[in-house]
Structure 1
Amino acid sequence: MKFDLHTHHFRCGHADANIEDYIQAAIRAELDVIGISDHSPYFANELDHPQPGIAMAKSEFANYVEEVLRLKAKYEGTIDVLLGVESDFYPEHIELYRSVYDQYPFDYIIGSVHQTRGVSIFNRNRWKNTPAAKHAEEKQHYYELIAQSARSGVFQVLGHIDAMKGYYPAFSDIQADEAIDASLAAIAESDVAIEINTSGKTKDVGGWYPSDAILERALHYGVKVTFGSDSHLPSRVGDDWELVRQRLKEIGFKQWVYYKQKKAVVVPL
């Protein structure tokens, strides 16, 4: 049973192609399940489309859902198309986001921390402007937000939980073990999954999210795992799926999951 829960398309403004192109790519890759999970709008902003190159407009959200559901019906019997979304996590706006998502029949919602203290985790310059003495504090804050996102009850999957290393590989060397462990414990207690996200290979870090070290600790805490290519091109759908499966088995995992109607579907490794 092959699946990929993390894909994007043109509406977010930084991915190529239509939703159907990703579904057809998944069929070519012999996937059984494909999840569509484009970036949700900035619901708390008064503007309809405040950041066109990052997320879809609020006015497009219902159209997005409608298109996925239409394609789900079209491809029924060929591939299982799941309705998902990748949501930013803003603690101060979580109830607004919850109220919007509750209006739609999502199979799953990916919660991703994309900003800390108002700065993108992918900002190449954030660490240049942060004194070395503050690095551990910033990493601890990042994992505290991830723990909060798990406890919110809004998400079934947490996205790329060490993606701060994407354009700053030295992030992995910053000591914050207690914060990481506390976050993993919260994730396990909240019964949400973390994704093995293979898009890190397209960034400076050149590897998957999260690191093997974090996955080993996730196994210790009993955290569920899932798979997401984080494709912004149809050609990356299912990228490294078999390699990830093998690595998880080597680490000691026995199964992974995907979500349908917000219920975990267990798939043996």
Structure 2
Amino acid sequence: MKFDLHTHHFRCGHADGNIRDYIEAGIAAGLQVIGISDHTPYFGSPEEQPFPYIAMGKSEIANYVHEVLQLKKEYEGKIDVLLGIESDFFPQHAQVYRDTLSQYPFDYIIGSVHQVGGVSIFNKNRWKGLSTKEKIAHKEEYYALISQSARNGMFQILGHIDAMKGNYPSFSDIAAEQALDDTLQVIAECGVAIEINTSGKTKMCGGWYPSHAILERAHHYGVEVTFGSDAHIPSRVGDELEQVAVMLKEIGYTEWVYYKQMQKVSVPLP
């Protein structure tokens, strides 16, 4: 069973192609299941689309859901198309996100922390001039937010849990092991899966999210895993899925999970 639960399309403003392009790419890649999971609108503002190159406008979410459900019917028997979405996690806006997303029949919701202290985790400048102590504090705050997102109960999957290294590879060397271990234990206790996200190769860090070392710790704590390419172009659908499966087996995993109608489906690693 091959699947990819993390794909985007043109509505978010920073991906290429339409939803059909990603489904066709999934079929070409030999997937049995593909999840469409574009970025939620930004619900923390009354504006229709305050960040047009980051997230879709509020009025587009209904169109998005309708299109995915129509394509699900069209491709039935060829590939199982799942309705997902990637939601930002802002503690101060969590309830409005929950209330809004609960109106739609999502198969799963990916919860991702993209901002810490109001600054993008991918902003290289956020690290300039910081002392070692301040860097540790930023990393600990990042993992505190991820822990909160796991406890929130809205998400089945947590997205790219060390993506703060994306444009700052030295993030991995910042000593905050206790914060990481505490977060992994919370994730395990909450029964939320983490994705192995292969889009790190498109950033300065050049690797997967999370790192091999974090996945070893995740396995130790009993954290379940899933797969997502985080494709922003159709050609990346299913990217490096086989290599990820091999690595997970080496660590000791025997299965991974995906979600359909909010229910976990466990399947053996290919």
Tell me whether the two structures share a fold, i.e. TM-score over 0.5.
yes
- Supply the distance in 2 between the matched residues of 1:155 and 1:201 (Cα, whole angstroms): 25
Matched, 1:6 2:6: yes
- Supply the distance in 1 between the matched residues of 2:121 and 2:130 (Cα, whole angstroms): 13
Equivalences for residues 1-269 of structure 1 within 5 A: 1-269=1-269
1:181 partner SS: helix
- Supply the distance in 2 between the matched residues of 1:54 and 1:118 (Cα, whole angstroms): 15
Q: Deviations over 1:163-200 (max 9, x none)?
A: 00000000000011110011001100110100000000
Q: Deviations over 1:112-169 (max 9, x none)?
A: 0000000000001110143332011110110000000000000000000000000000
The CA RMSD measured in Å over matched residues stands at 0.6
2:135 partner SS: helix
Q: Give the counterpart letter for 1:120 in structure 2.
A: S
* Cα drift, residue 44 of structure 1: 1.6
- Supply the distance in 1 between the matched residues of 2:34 and 2:182 (Cα, whole angstroms): 31
Divergent runs of 4+, >3 A: none
Gaps of 5+ in 1: none
TM-score normalised by the chain length of structure 2: 0.99
* Cα drift, residue 218 of structure 1: 0.4
- Supply the distance in 1 between the matched residues of 2:19 and 2:124 (Cα, whole angstroms): 30
Q: Deviations over 1:34-87 (max 9, x none)?
A: 000000000121100101000000010100000000000000010000000000
TM-score normalised by the chain length of structure 1: 0.99
* Cα drift, residue 254 of structure 1: 1.0
Q: Give the counterpart letter for 1:80 in structure 2.
A: D
- Supply the distance in 2 between the matched residues of 1:253 and 1:91 (Cα, whole angstroms): 32
Q: How many residues align?
A: 269
- Supply the distance in 2 between the matched residues of 1:130 and 1:76 (Cα, whole angstroms): 52
Q: Give the counterpart letter for 2:238 in structure 1.
A: G
- Supply the distance in 2 between the matched residues of 1:117 and 1:30 (Cα, whole angstroms): 41
Q: Give the counterpart letter for 1:99 in structure 2.
A: D
- Supply the distance in 2 between the matched residues of 1:34 and 1:173 (Cα, whole angstroms): 34
- Supply the distance in 2 between the matched residues of 1:262 and 1:212 (Cα, whole angstroms): 28
- Supply the distance in 1 between the matched residues of 2:134 and 2:125 (Cα, whole angstroms): 15
